[in-house]
Chains A and B, each alone.
Chain A
Amino acid sequence: MRETSSVADTYSGSPGNIHSQLDVMGDPGRTGRYGEYGGRYVPEPLMAACLELENEFRLAWADDDFHNQLDSILRSYGGRPTPVTECGRLSERIGVRVLLKREDLAHTGSHKINNVTGQALLARRMGKNRLIAETGAGQHGVATATAAAFMGMECTVFMGEVDTLRQELNVFRMELLGANVVAVKSGSKTLKDAVNEALREWVSTCETTHYCVGSVMGPHPYPWIVRELQRVVGDEARDQCRQLLGGQDPDWVVACVGGGSNAAGTFAGFTDTSSNLVGVEAAGGAAITHGTPGILHGMLSNLLQDDTGQILEAKSISAGLDYPGIGPEHAYLASVGRARYESANDDEVVKAFCQLSELEGIIPALESAHAVAWVIREAGKVIPFGSTVLITLSGRGDKDVSQVRDILRKSKNDNEEGRVQVG
């Protein structure tokens, strides 16, 4: 990393915003920088659209009417506010008090609806009547298709071919909602390539089409817009926790991270508290743990890449976390130590998926199960017994049940075969 440090030095030159608590998760300015991370690395044809979007968002976000309209849709259509649930049986089992922020109860079954509703409204303000989106697990695609249907807009969703197979039902859902789903056959045929195709489509259509980015990633202003639109998760959760905890904040706030939108929204509500913030990555896609700084999809962030700068494929059980990068603000929060990033492997995740289902009657999305898995693993270790832990349950697991059934059947068969051989 020695050679790039001079560049990093140049970028971190924005005076005094590194350790100032006030600026953590604030406005990243015109350059869209989070410390040295972020920025806007797009081909010139997309610059006009990015600048237009930033201007429109600045106007909209300062406009009470826009907020009223957004809040009203999220209340009457999106199912907000979502509750915080005490997990009595899980807490008893692991010795820490677990609270869940229930984004699985939001419309379409995940936090994604918060973001797409805001972006669809923004698109309409800009006079753009068509939305395009990338999707991994399909949650963001379903949410975008939903917002498009609700607002009478056209919608095309790009999804890696591999993901269209492992999340077949979500493809059908999107089609039911009137969206056109494009199976992406380039590269690794997963989320990374879906983003590439969406960007390529946007280059030729950006004058009439809004690219509804699904996470806190991409060129400025997307990481900022998406975090602000997801901030509602953290803001609600903080108030709800204080009511449940007698005015206290939870000791730990934990969320899963792919691109990192539910974590960013959650953390945004807690950066000025003393809560420990933890993002949990998939072990096979851990951009903070195993990545190095680089530029992909318009942003400077931590990426899984080889020595020559070729992007590597992320590998995880959950399509939604199969992304070789992470939102630039997470890279920044990690670099200044305001949040820590851990990982959970596929086995732990399947166990957590089952455990939360059995003990609490809540089937989590495989993505969200990463956060649960880390808390189960670290209870009594990193997380002292008796602590209070808020986990954002970013989505529900209905989409994952057939995949988990196959995994459990396979492991059962493997075990039986193993016994036969031993015998």
Chain B
Amino acid sequence: MDTGTTTPDLLSSVAGSGTGEGRLGAIQSKLLSARDSGRKSLCCYLMGGMSPDWQDVARAIENGGADIVEIGLPFSDPMIDGPVIQHASKLSLDSGNSPMSVIDSIPCMDMSIPVAVMTYYNIIYKAGLYRMAGRIASAGIAGSIIADLPVEESDSWVTTANDAGIENIMLVAPTTSPDRTKIICDVSQGFVYCVGTMGVTGERDELPNSAKEVAAKVKAATDKPTLVGIGVSTPSQAASVCAIADGVILGSAIVRRITEGEGARGIENFVRLLRRSID
């Protein structure tokens, strides 16, 4: 399914909205310097507020050797998430958390690796773009990933986020055409998030071929750091993807462990395993 013939006018109006260049943010700097030193990068996800000890778990992720921690802001209708992260989102909301309460608790966690928030656009739209960008930036959060904000709709948020110093990370999928890939890579900041498999977030027994293919496609289109997520579940899968990609993102494999009651120590050990597998 190639969409190279579509919406050239639209895409060209997005291209050159001029966000890719200029001073580098914390995420991109960190990932580029890792790459320059021949190191692969590890980004780990957890849902903010999903368990009483989620802040300890975030620090455990840092201690285990992750380069970036990605924190989910809970949303009632997470369209691209499978059952594990849906459940985590519900746990978070049911325990009285909100997107803002999660953001506001991040400074207290005193993380030394960059933090990105991952959420859905309604959370930002409802809060107001300007207000949300200010709140994210003042919490010391470096980046945002908005799952349902494709490049055509991204201009308002990218501009607002950039003004606040936030790097907005964008997704490239296995079905993304070469033309689109180029434009998304231009607009994306921090890194390019390669969707490793056509499907929702969740663990899979086998690493699909598409995981490496999409990484290769993005590497050919940009020098920006290229990380693969969605469908990467185990240390050996992470290692396999890193043969091509600059790094990996793991979400459901971590969230499931937290849900099953593995505390900070268990998660730190798992992250250490991941780290070792890609080093």
Contact = CB atoms under 8 A, between A and B. Distances in A.
Interface of A: 2-4, 6-7, 10, 30-31, 39-45, 47-49, 51-52, 54-55, 186-187, 192-193, 196, 199-200, 203-207, 292-298, 300, 303, 305, 307-311
B122 A294 contact: yes
B198 A45 contact: yes
Contact of A48 (B90, B124, B126, B176): B176
Interface stretch (B72-80, B107-115, B219-227): B72-80
20 contacts: A2-B128, A3-B128, A30-B9, A43-B147, A44-B172, A44-B176, A47-B175, A47-B176, A49-B1, A186-B86, A187-B76, A193-B77, A203-B80, A203-B199, A206-B1, A294-B122, A303-B122, A308-B99, A308-B126, A308-B127
A305 to B, nearest CB: 6
Contact of A187 (B77, B100, B176): B77
Interface residues of B, number: 59
Contact of A307 (B74, B126, B174, B199): B126
Contact of A47 (B3, B79, B90, B121): B3
B232 to A, nearest CB: 15
Nearest to B195: A45
Contacts of B74: 310
Contacts of A51: 3, 6-7
A196 B126 contact: no
Interface in B1-47: 1-3, 5-7, 9-10
B176 to A, nearest CB: 6
Contacts of B90: 187
Interface stretch (B49-57, B149-157, B236-244, B255-263): B149-157
Contacts of B156: 6-7, 10
Contact of A7 (B6, B86, B125, B147): B125
Interface of B: 1-3, 5-7, 9-10, 74-80, 82-83, 86, 90, 93, 98-100, 120-131, 147-153, 155-156, 170-177, 180, 184, 195, 197-200
Contacts of B126: 4, 292, 294, 305, 307-309
Contact of A295 (B78, B99, B148, B195): B148
B111 to A, nearest CB: 23
B137 to A, nearest CB: 16
A200 B82 contact: yes
Given A10-B156, A307-B126, A308-B126, A47 B200 contact: no
